Structure 1
Amino acid sequence: MKEYNKFRIEWDCRRGMLELDKVIMPYFKGYFDDLSDEKKAVFLRLLACTDLQLFSYFFNRVPAPDSELQNIIIDIQEKLNLNN
C-alpha cells in the first residue's frame, strides 16, 4: 500500500470556487482513506484539473476526458448525493 502525503492532498482539495470546496473536500475527508491505491491515483489526477474543468464535470455534466476520471466523478456525485 502506497503512502500519501495527506496534508498535501488536503491542500490540493482546497479550490478557488466554493461549490468545488463543498464537493471535493467532503469526499476527501469521508472516502479517500477507503479507496484502492488505483482510485487514489485517479483522485489525485482529478485534483490536477482546473477549477473550471472540475465545475464543468460536476455541475454542467460535461464528461471527463477519460473513463477513469469520469468514474471517480460519478462516485463523488453518488456519495455526496449530487445527482438530484
Structure 2
Amino acid sequence: MVDDIELNRLSWHSRRGMLELDVLLVPFVKEAYPNLDAEDQARFRKLLACEDQDMFGWFMRREEPADPDLRRMVTIILDRVQPK
C-alpha cells in the first residue's frame, strides 16, 4: 500500500519541467502507480532517477533504454496513454 506522503513525494519528483515528461509522469503517479506491484513501483522510482533527455528520447520512441527494468516501465507508461 502506498501512503499519501510517498505519492506526494513521487508526484513532486515526476515534475521534470519538460511538458512532454510532465504530462506522462504526473498523471501516472496519481492514477496508476498505487496499483502497480512492488517490483514495478521500484522500477518507476528507478526511472525517476534517469536524466530528462534520456527519458524524453524513450517516451518519444527515438530510442529504448538498455536496462530491461526501465524498458518495461517506459512500455507500461506508453501503453497507458495509447488510444485503444
| Amino acid corresponding to residue 20 of structure 1 in structure 2 | L
Q: CA deviation at 1:66?
A: 0.9
CA distance in 2, matches of 1:71, 1:41: 12
1:16: which partner in 2?
17
**TM-score normalized with structure 2 length:** 0.87
Q: Show structure 2 runs of 5+ residues with no match.
A: none
Aligned length: 82
Which residues of 2 match residues 24-35 of structure 1 at below 5 A?
Answer: 24-35=25-36
Q: Would the aligned equivalents of 2:15 and 2:26 in 1 still touch at CA under 8 Å?
A: yes
Q: CA deviation at 1:75?
A: 0.8
Q: Would the aligned equivalents of 2:7 and 2:29 in 1 still touch at CA under 8 Å?
A: no
1:79: which partner in 2?
80
Q: Deviations over 1:32-84 (max 9, x none)?
A: 000001100000000011110110110043111211110110111011117xx
2:52: which partner in 1?
51
Q: Deviations over 1:1-53 (max 9, x none)?
A: 67672221111000120111011111111100000011000000000111101
Q: Show structure 1 runs of 5+ residues with no match.
A: none
Q: Aligned Cα RMSD in Å?
A: 1.8
> Percent sequence identity over matched residues?
34
